[in-house]
Amino acid sequence: MAQQGFTGPFGRLYASLKAGEITRREFIERSTALGVAGAVAIFCANAAQAAASGGSQNGFAFYAQSNAAKAPEAGTANQKRGAGGELKLIQWQAATIAVPHTATGTKDYLASCLVVEPLMHYLEDGTIVPNLVKEVPSVENGLLAKDLSSVTINLLPNIKWSDGQPFTAKDVVFTWQWITFEGNNSVTIGVWQPLAKVEAKDDLTVVATYKSPSAAWFEPFVGGINGPIYPAHKFKDFKDRNVQFDTHPVGTGPYKLDSFTPNDQAIYSINDNYREPNKPFFAKVNIKGGGDAASAGRAVLETGEYDFAWNLQVEPAVLEEMQKSSQRGTVKSTVGTNVERININFSDPNKEVNGQRSEMHTPHPILSDIKVRQAMSMAVQRDVIATQFYGFGQNATANIVTGVPSITSKNTKWAYNLDQAGKLLDEAGWKMEGDVRKKDGQELSITYATTINQVRQKTQAVVKQAFSKLGIKVQLQQVDSGVFFDGSAGNTQNINHFYWDINMYTNGAGSPVPVSYMFGWYSGPNGDNIAQKANQWQGQDFQRWVNKDYDALYEQLLKETDAEKAASMIIQMNDIMINDVALIPEVNRAGDVYAISNQLRDENVMVGPGFELDYWNIANWNRP
């Protein structure tokens, strides 16, 4: 019998391993043959063997960690630092700030990851590898407590910040303090809050203790979104917001930021204090933002002006034509965990309360009705959107958590059915009057916003057409991505404020155990995690959705150490969101669809399923 959380052929394999009917090697080989990521297969193998041996049964304690594995670095052994000249990157969403812990968009994380670094990284299969540490903590090496209550982290010696100051354990402690101080409005506060204390035992030893044993003990310290460490010496103390740091960061990464023009361009030069003397290969990096995704692709594939183009959200037919005629580069895609979806605002964006709209205690007059939300969900042609506008293996989905088999729900489904949708609206009291439905004199009218992008505008058109057939009046709005994903407190057109009825964008599980991702729908005690004026709109529940069952499961997940139970909880949380129509998933997008120049050594450009940022391994990028 398949174990809870693992179903189908993979579940049967897992049960066979746990029963001793197949070997660990056979399990991993056959799992990967089914399409399961290597790290997920290893994680599940460890979980099964721990349970079978009567051990702690907590697979997360052994989760895919490696001190032998490392980022690809082909051709770097004999290279000379700076010999490669300029590396030119183009991303149609320009960065607004260049630091991670107050960013709200991938565009900003990309700009930051050349400079500030985490202690550890994820490889593309989810394996955790060292970066600023000697080794990845584990139960086997004695650095991770068997009950996951604490972890010891041994830092690499002789690491320096780009300004020459030493990197020490005090910087890790400071980062925890800075992020968890609510006055700084850090977007990663939910990831670091499970830590009860972080202590510097000496300059190179950090001991972190958790409030409760955590299945995702590693999340604060791994990856370019949640894990980057800030330099304590650049702040007065941990209560110092220091907005100057947003555009003038100091880091341990391979580059330093020479000039930064928000919503336009970032120019980097080599960090002379970088720990590997023959890296990076490129003397200068130019990240140019703006324009549109198709133009970015052409700048690599057709004109050869740039070396790499990120996130080509372009219709497959257009990309295929570019590729067909290109002699300069290649279009590539990766399996991912990202989901393009329609987000629903559960508060009223048109009524002002205490100086803000979308106030969390002011329910949405239309979308608070689940029958309206169900009708809207049934009117989204996900298969058409996926096939015509995405392609490249990016499929329609009913789930908000997807891409990792063990935590992808099999309980959900989607359907396109305008007749049934119309009946639901009738039941909810919305009656057709001409072309638009009304109830108690109010029109069924909504605003629908997203970024300026051809694929998204065509998606909007498909959705609007179906909604209009139902009698839902739709006003489409498009916002420049630099504004849409800019988390500034004064920006009323960003996703944090959510001053529309529905909006649309992508993100996904940034970890093989996506506790931080699930935090985005956790309202928190007294609504503390809901984006509001009181927290400068930095709360992560932008939709103002509150569900007590979801919140309770999230709080349990923070304490869960059993692999199967944690997987089951994540699936349950996904199902609660889908059944309540908290949002409408559309497409399981790739980790990235990107264009890469033939002049780059592509085996070193490691673009994964969404666990890491595209440029995280840029210290190893070079030319063939």
* 15, 2 contact by CB (below 8 A): yes
- d(CA 434, CA 373) in angstroms, rounded, equals 22
Query: Which tokens is 241 given?
Result: 């917001």
For 619, phi and psi rounded to 5 degrees?
-60, -25
Residues 306 and 412 both lie in one domain: no
Buried b (16+ CB within 10 A) or exposed e, 377-413: bbbbbbeebbebbbbeebebbbbbbbbbbbbbbeebe
Taking residues 247-263, report their average pLDDT. Answer: 97
Taking residues 71-85, report their average pLDDT. Answer: 95
Residue 567: per-residue pLDDT? 86
DSSP letters for 255-306: EEEEEEETTTEEEEEE-TT-SSTT--S-SEEEEEE-S-HHHHHHHHHTS---
* 94, 265 contact by CB (below 8 A): yes
CATH code: domain of residue 323: 3.40.190.10
The neighbouring-strand residues paired with 208 are 151, 198
Q: Place 2 in a pLDDT band, splitting at 50, 70 and 90.
A: very low
Residue 406: per-residue pLDDT? 78
Whether 360 has a pLDDT exceeding 90, the answer reads yes
Query: Is there a domain that residue 395 lies in?
Result: yes
Q: Place 560 in a pLDDT band, splitting at 50, 70 and 90.
A: confident
Whether 56 has a pLDDT exceeding 70, the answer reads no
Taking residues 564-574, report their average pLDDT. Answer: 91
Taking residues 26-47, report their average pLDDT. Answer: 57
Three-state SS letters, 493-504: CCCCCCCCCEEE
* 187, 488 contact by CB (below 8 A): no
**Lowest-confidence region among 249-263, 305-319, 357-371, 509-523:** 509-523
Residues 470 and 608 both lie in one domain: no
Count of structural domains, the chain: 4
Q: Place 30 in a pLDDT band, splitting at 50, 70 and 90.
A: low
Taking residues 195-205, report their average pLDDT. Answer: 98
Nearest to 428 by CA among 583, 585, 584, 581: 581
Q: Where are the beta strands (DSSP E) in 211-272?
A: 255-261, 265-270
Three-state SS letters, 543-612: CCCCCHHHHHHHHHHHHCCCHHHHHHHHHHHHHHHHHCCCEEEEEECCCCEEEEECCCCHHHCCCCCCCC
- d(CA 390, CA 503) in angstroms, rounded, equals 19
Query: Is there a domain that residue 2 lies in?
Result: no
Taking residues 462-470, report their average pLDDT. Answer: 98
What is the per-residue pLDDT across 109-157, written as a single tens digit (0 to 9) for each?
A: 999 999 999 999 988 767 889 999 999 998 888 999 988 899 999 999 9
Whether 58 has a pLDDT exceeding 50, the answer reads no
Query: Which tokens is 624 given?
Result: 């063939």
What is the per-residue pLDDT across 512-557, written as a single tens digit (0 to 9) for each?
A: 778 889 999 999 999 999 999 999 999 999 999 999 999 999 999 9
- d(CA 614, CA 609) in angstroms, rounded, equals 10
Query: Is there a domain that residue 67 lies in?
Result: no
Q: What percent of the chain has pLDDT over 70?
A: 90
Query: Is there a domain that residue 244 lies in?
Result: no
Residue 8: per-residue pLDDT? 58
Residue 57: per-residue pLDDT? 39
Nearest to 215 by CA among 61, 65, 56: 61
Taking residues 321-344, report their average pLDDT. Answer: 92
Domain end, chosen from 238, 264, 288, is at: 238
Residues 307 and 332 both lie in one domain: yes
Residue 62: per-residue pLDDT? 38
* Average pLDDT of the chain, as a whole number: 90
DSSP letters for 129-144: EESSBSS---TTTTSB
Query: Is there a domain that residue 547 lies in?
Result: yes
Residues 437 and 470 both lie in one domain: yes
Whether 102 has a pLDDT exceeding 80, the answer reads yes
Nearest to 362 by CA among 548, 551, 544: 544
Whether the link from the prior residue into 405 is cis, omega within 30° of 0, is no
Residue 74: per-residue pLDDT? 94
Residue 584: per-residue pLDDT? 98
What is the per-residue pLDDT across 409-457, written as a single tens digit (0 to 9) for each?
A: 999 999 999 999 999 999 999 999 999 999 999 999 999 999 999 999 9
* 518, 46 contact by CB (below 8 A): no
Query: Is there a domain that residue 77 lies in?
Result: no
Residue 480: per-residue pLDDT? 93
Residues 148 and 211 both lie in one domain: yes
Query: Is there a domain that residue 561 lies in?
Result: yes
CATH code: domain of residue 424: 3.10.105.10
Residues 371 and 457 both lie in one domain: yes
Residues 553 and 623 both lie in one domain: no
Residue 172: per-residue pLDDT? 98
Domain end, chosen from 182, 215, 238, is at: 238
Taking residues 360-368, report their average pLDDT. Answer: 97
Residues 107 and 157 both lie in one domain: no
Q: Place 3 in a pLDDT band, splitting at 50, 70 and 90.
A: very low
Residue 532: per-residue pLDDT? 96
**Lowest-confidence region among 1-5, 60-64, 247-251, 452-456:** 1-5
Taking residues 469-497, report their average pLDDT. Answer: 94
Residues 345 and 324 both lie in one domain: no
Query: Is there a domain that residue 98 lies in?
Result: yes
Residue 59: per-residue pLDDT? 41
Q: Phi-psi category of 292—alpha, beta or left, where left has phi over 0 and alpha has psi -120 to 50?
A: beta
Residue 55: per-residue pLDDT? 42
Residues 126 and 233 both lie in one domain: yes
Q: Which domain covers residue 13, as residue numbers?
A: 8-62
What is the per-residue pLDDT across 177-199, written as a single tens digit (0 to 9) for each?
A: 999 999 999 999 999 999 999 99
CATH code: domain of residue 191: 3.90.76.10
Residue 4: per-residue pLDDT? 36
Residues 125 and 201 both lie in one domain: yes
DSSP reduced 3-state for 40:
helix
Residue 9: per-residue pLDDT? 64
Residues 326 and 452 both lie in one domain: no
Tokens 């070396």 belong to which residue? 307
Higher pLDDT, 289 or 510: 289
- d(CA 258, CA 261) in angstroms, rounded, equals 10
Q: Place 18 in a pLDDT band, splitting at 50, 70 and 90.
A: confident
Taking residues 323-349, report their average pLDDT. Answer: 93
Pairing, β 284-289 against β 86-91: parallel
Whether 46 has a pLDDT exceeding 60, the answer reads no
Task: Indicate the length of the chain as a whole number.
Answer: 624
